[in-house]
Amino acid sequence: MSLALVEAGLSETRAVDRWWLEPQRMLQTNLREIDATMDLDRYVREVKDFGANVVLFNVGGIVGNYPTELPYHYRNPHMQGDLVATVLERLHAEGIRVIGRFDFSKINEKFAAQQPEWLYVSERGRHVNYNGQVHTCVSGGYQQEYMFEILGEAIDRYPLDGVFFNMIGYQRSDYSGNYHGLCQCRACKDKFREYSGMELPKTRDDNSPVYRKYLEFTRMMSDRQFNRVNAFLKAKRPDLAICTYTPTGVDIIRMESNRPLGQGTYHDTDKAKATLLTAGERQLANCAVHFIDIPYRHAAVSPYLTIRRIWQLWVNGAWLDFYCIGPLQRQEDRTGLDLVQALYRFHGANERWLKRTRPAGEVALVRRGGAEYDGLLQVLCENQVAFELTTLDASSLGTHPLAIVPDAGGLSEKDCAVLDAYVADGGKLLLTGKIPPALKCLKDAAFQQTRPAEKGSYIRIRAEDRQRLHRADLEKLDLVFLQGAFHVYDGGEGVEGLLRLIPGDMFGPPEKCYYRTVSDHPALLVVRHGRGVAACFPWEIGSHYERQGHQGHAAIVMGTIDSALGLDRRLRVVTSPLVEVTHRQGTDGTFEWVALFNHSGQQGKVLHRPVPIRDIAINLRPSKEVKAVRLLHAGTELPLRRENGRVTVAVPELNHYEIVLFKYAE
């Protein structure tokens, strides 16, 4: 390719408006076919007042909301004129972008009868007709070919800003949760045989190699589908954002938070950080689902749950994204709409500070180890340690001064080499569980044996441990319980062994409830290596906190981070554990901020309005000299005290959420 062509290509790339690369405020009013009769003036006014700048609007697939010319595209019978054209023009006039929603997972029964080869076939050899909509198959002609005709028609006619696909992939159940199994259509049989040389499995069997091959096939087909969609749409419109529930071929990964019960307090924080960790340039739009469950889509979850979801997503770099069934004017459970609107408008009014930011949490947490990870994440959140999730590679660990690796025993040689280099270069490393054999920085701690869980065992906190861990909340604790395996290491030369294992002993009857020995086995090992330092809890301290929530375990972790490993944290916050912080900085280098969220309204499974939390002290070592500190929500300036390169402010009252903005001097 000639240089001129290369340059032409580059300037073309530059010219494409990739508007989605900054977090947006999306509102999905998922229209029912009867909503074609809604009041359009009111629709546009309500979307605008809501503070949304992107609307996810139903365009085609199951129901076409425009006068389609395609013979197998079902036109909304409730529609007069051209709903898509009218709404698009009106929203664009208000500066609001529109992502068109398509759903090719089902087709109207009158077309289904004419094109049976497009349809999903259940394990019992039947088509699935749900409310007049018949399930189609990814392998069949509808999703492989006809879908592109519908997309092409819509894209050629309407200046949409993006396209969203619902219900992608190989579906096995209907909306009532009835399981119909693996598709047995002709196209699946042929394509699977072509792919694998095997016959299509007739049912799910996790132990069968054919079934495992089938899963690989469905993933391949789904990826291929979205790579084709991407090539097709971007050739027509490079500025069109593609959004759906897969990371392949998309610009915006869509997810949902839709289960009101059974998800932890930090669920959406974890989800946002974990998804964006490997997303590259792709964005995350994770919708807070308004309704309680699919069969009850007119009834809302707690407003405070909705706000928690949206907040945890956006402060970690995702879009604001809210989804309800039907337009705002037809909501029958309107509780919480005002709170979402207030949050959207707050974000809109402060875009200067909220849109172009990057993570600034200094502790790196590696996402592995199940309950061990969950417990450590909770300790960090409750102690206002600003952290980010990382993978085990040098660029991801980056400049984080401290890294935590839960359940480290199974790390590969390559992972260990990365961690050794990290510590040699000055990093502070905290592991839990078994020390992986290939790790050099902790090799002086010699492994002896693994003691299985023993009832009645404890970890002794001695006077010298208390002094070293330097935590006031350990003053009244001489032990914490140990409820799991313990890996015994000899503290060799250069190994500082802290805390001691108390082996399991008598716990009943009360007359006989006392232990007789305290071992010499350290329960925390600390070793200096190169310019850094490594430490390991040779037991699963995080899982203990996840299970029982005893503050002693949390205090030991925090004492290890702050004192034994000696992290001089950039951000220190003194407040209730019910306040969650997030630390980000502006990409333009003119500010950083600390987000505060008040979790105090949670009572078991119920989320109430939080009670105000007062006098939150924030002490920050800023990246640059700070000129002013401002509370973006309260709209007030805070007096600041400067000392030793640090800035201290006091937030008088946190009602629900706040952004504490540290503006740098020019």
> Residues interacting with Zn ion, by CB under 5 A?
137, 139, 183, 185, 188
What number of other Cβ atoms are within 10 A of residue 412's Cβ? 11
Minimum CB distance to Zn ion smaller for 183 or for 649:
183
By the 8 A CB rule, do 611 and 635 touch? no
| Least distance CB 205 / Zn ion (angstroms) | 18
Closest of 165, 204, 197 to residue 182, by C-alpha: 204
Supply the minimum distance, in Å, between the C-beta of residue 202 and Zn ion: 13
The C-alpha atoms of residue 437 and residue 430 are separated, in whole angstroms, by 16
DSSP class of residue 170 equals -
d(C-alpha 415, C-alpha 420), whole Å: 9
172 vs 621 by CB, closer to Zn ion: 172
The smaller minimum CB distance to Zn ion, of residues 218 and 576, is found at 218
CB atoms within 10 A of CB 79: 19
- Taking the complex as a whole, the smallest distance from the CB of residue 191 to Zn ion amounts, in Å, to 8
488, 501 in Cβ contact below 8 A?
yes
Say if strands 646-654 and 613-620 run parallel, antiparallel, or are unpaired.
Answer: antiparallel
Nearer to Zn ion, 183 or 435 (CB): 183
Asked if 138 and 156 count as a contact pair (C-beta separation under 8 A), the reply is: no
Quote the least distance from Cβ 127 to Zn ion, whole Å. 11
Write down the residue that tokens 């027509």 correspond to. 236
**Among residues 178 and 636, whose Cβ is nearest to Zn ion?**
178
Q: Which 3 state secondary structure label does DSSP give 13?
A: helix
- Are the C-beta atoms of residues 401 and 425 closer than 8 Å to each other? no
Q: Say how far apart CA 546 and CA 558 lie, in whole Å.
A: 15
Element (H, E) at 85: helix 83-93
Q: Sign of the C-alpha dihedral, residues 146, 150, 156, 161?
A: negative
Nearer of residues 223 and 478 to Zn ion, judged by Cβ: 223
Element (H, E) at 107: strand 106-108
Q: How far is the CB of 101 from Zn ion (least distance, A)?
A: 24
Helix (H) or strand (E) holding 395: helix 394-397
Closer to Zn ion by CB, 188 or 618: give it: 188
Would you put residue 184 in left (φ > 0), alpha (ψ -120 to 50) or beta?
Answer: alpha
**Identity of the residue, 188 or 419, whose beta carbon is nearer to Zn ion in the bound complex:** 188
Minimum CB–partner distance for residue 189 and Zn ion (Å): 8
Per the listing, tokens 């002896």 go with 448
Residue 639 sits at φ, ψ, to 5 deg, of: -65, 140
Q: 3-state class of 17 per DSSP?
A: coil
Residue whose CB is less far from Zn ion, 139 or 432: 139
SS3 state of residue 546 = helix
Q: How far is the CB of 245 from Zn ion (least distance, A)?
A: 19
Give the whole-angstrom CA distance, residue 274 versus residue 506: 43
What are 126's two structure tokens?
């039947």
CA–CA distance, 3 with 315 (Å, rounded to integer): 42
- Taking the C-alpha atoms of residue 32 and residue 195, their distance in angstroms, rounded to an integer, is 39
Toward Zn ion, which CB reaches closer, 183 or 289?
183
Query: How distant, in Å, are the alpha carbons of 11, 13, 18, 240, 572 from that of 8?
Result: 5, 9, 18, 20, 50
Quote the least distance from Cβ 102 to Zn ion, whole Å: 19
Q: How far is the CB of 200 from Zn ion (least distance, A)?
A: 9
**Residue closer to Zn ion, measured from CB, 188 or 315:** 188
Q: Which CB sits closer to Zn ion, 138 or 661? A: 138
Shortest Cβ 62–Zn ion spacing (Å): 18
Residue 71 Cβ, how far from Zn ion at the closest point, in Å?
A: 22
Torsion of CA 291, 297, 298, 304, to 10 degrees: 0
Least separation in angstroms between CB 139 and Zn ion: 4
Scan for tokens 């699935």, then name that residue: 128
d(CA 359, CA 366): 15
Nearer to Zn ion, 123 or 333 (CB): 123
Nearest-approach distance from CB 137 to Zn ion, in angstroms: 3
Residue 123 or 490 with smaller CB distance to Zn ion: 123
The rounded distance, in Å, linking the Cα atoms of 289 and 257 is 6
Helices of type H across 520-649:
541-548, 551-559
Residue 221 or 241 having the CB closest to Zn ion: 221
Closest separation in Å from C-beta 170 to Zn ion: 7
The token duo for 439 is 């790790």
Residue 509: asked if its preceding bond is cis (omega within 30°), the reply is: yes
Please report how close the Cβ of residue 24 comes to Zn ion at its closest, in angstroms: 35
